[in-house]
């Protein structure tokens, strides 16, 4: 059986309330050995912690404030996230999901950059990796992270969808890996042309469930079991076996998160 790690899944959200146990069972049956779960904002903390507590040793939590939850009142949310991070610091495997999102508009760009930078500093203080959300914001991500290039900062650029130039920009951060999900299976995806240029030692797999569902289930709710379709596509693109890729990317993930 394949043994795969899902490095990014939101199975704690309400989309899974009706059948979460069945979703987790299907993931295990497909060979998913670990699921790493990034927080979204102050409203999701309790759900995240409960699901990870109920599935200890299988689901691993991260703590952070997602950029789309950043607005003019971000201080309140950020304080709650920080309090939780410090109170349960031994439980969290990363600071995430953090970063920048300018897909809809850039109204809160300044606030997003401040929140991102502050959370990066938390990660350094706690010696935790970060999981970075980047949507239409690569140059700003680079600007925030550049001062930390020669530090111990490490992490994952989640849901990579950029071009080769952007991939090379991200790979300049030598302690970072690139997360690949169901987007690689989409007909118009540019990822199959770019992935051979990325060292396999720098790749991890993810679902981002319930979002970004891979073909052949595109249009449905995503779940961790569907990571096998991403695995198969990436193995096809790279010319290796699914077993070898699963082993390598899983080892990469465990090395990154330390658990």
> pLDDT (tens digit, 9 = 90+) per residue, 104-135?
999 999 999 999 999 999 999 999 999 999 99
CB atoms within 10 A of CB 89: 13
Burial class (CB in 10 A: 0-12, 13-18, 19+), 243: middle
Question: What is this structure's pTM?
Answer: 0.97
- In the chain, the percentage of residues whose pLDDT exceeds 70 is 100
- Using only C-alpha atoms, what is the Rg of the chain? 17
**What number is the average pLDDT over the span 193-221?**
98
Q: What is the signed CA dihedral for 150, 155, 161, 166, rounded to 10 degrees?
A: 10
What is the mean predicted confidence (pLDDT) over 89-109? 96
Which H or E run includes 180? Answer: strand 176-180
| Structure-token match 């490490």, residue found | 154
Asked if pLDDT for residue 259 goes beyond 80, the answer is: no
pLDDT for 44 equals: 98
User: Where do the domains of the chain lie, and which CATH numbers do they carry?
Assistant: 4-257 (3.20.20.140)
Nearest in space to 159 (alpha carbons), one of 204, 114, 201, 199? 204
Is residue 243 very low, low, confident or very high in pLDDT (cuts 50, 70, 90)?
very high
For residues 94 and 126, what is the distance between their CA atoms, to the nearest angstrom? 9
Q: What is the pLDDT of residue 28?
A: 98
CA gap 3, 246 in Å, rounded = 6
Q: Which helix (H) or strand (E) holds 165?
A: helix 164-171
pLDDT at 255 over 90: yes
Query: Within 10 Å of residue 137's Cβ, how many Cβ atoms?
Result: 23
The predicted structure's pLDDT at residue 1: 81
Q: Over range 51-62, report the average pLDDT.
A: 98
Q: How far apart are CA 156 and CA 96, in angstroms?
A: 10
In terms of phi and psi (left: phi > 0; alpha: psi -120 to 50; beta: otherwise), the region of 168 is alpha
Mean pLDDT of 187-210: 97
Across the chain, what does the average pLDDT equal?
97
Is a pLDDT exceeding 90 seen at residue 153?
Answer: yes
> H/E element holding 245?
helix 242-257
Instruction: Provide the 10 A C-beta neighbour count for residue 201.
Output: 11
Instruction: Indicate the DSSP class of residue 9.
Output: B
Tell me the pLDDT tens digit for each residue of 19-46: 999 999 999 999 999 999 999 999 999 9
Q: For residues 125 and 89, is the Cβ–Cβ distance under 8 A?
A: no
Confidence of residue 208 (pLDDT cuts 50, 70, 90): very high
Per residue in 5-23, pLDDT (tens digit) is 999 999 999 999 999 999 9
């Amino acid at each position: 059986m394949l043994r795969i790690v899902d490095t990014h899944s939101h199975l704690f959200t309400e989309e899974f309330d009706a059948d979460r146990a069945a979703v987790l069972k299907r993931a295990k049956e497909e060979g998913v050995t670990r699921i790493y779960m990034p927080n979204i904002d102050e409203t999701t903390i309790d759900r995240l912690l409960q699901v990870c507590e109920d599935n200890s040793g299988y689901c691993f939590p991260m703590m952070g404030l997602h950029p789309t939850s950043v607005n003019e009142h971000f201080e309140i949310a950020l304080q709650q996230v920080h309090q939780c991070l410090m109170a349960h610091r031994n439980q969290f495997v990363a600071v995430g999901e953090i970063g920048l999102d300018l897909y809809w508009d850039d109204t809160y760009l300044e606030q997003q950059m401040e929140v991102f930078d502050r959370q990066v500093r938390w990660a350094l203080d706690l010696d935790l990796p970060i999981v970075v959300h980047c949507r239409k914001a690569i140059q700003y991500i680079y600007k925030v992270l550049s001062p930390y290039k020669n530090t111990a900062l490490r992490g994952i650029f989640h849901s990579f969808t950029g071009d080769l130039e952007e991939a090379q920009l991200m790979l300049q951060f030598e302690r970072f890996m690139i997360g690949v999900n169901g987007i690689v299976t989409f007909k118009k995806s540019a990822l199959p042309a770019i992935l051979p240029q990325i060292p396999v030692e720098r790749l991890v797999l993810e679902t981002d469930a319930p979002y970004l569902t891979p073909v052949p289930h595109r249009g449905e709710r995503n779940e961790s079991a569907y990571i096998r379709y991403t695995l198969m596509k990436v193995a096809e693109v790279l010319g290796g076996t699914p077993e070898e890729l699963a082993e390598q990317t899983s080892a990469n993930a465990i090395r990154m998160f330390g658990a």
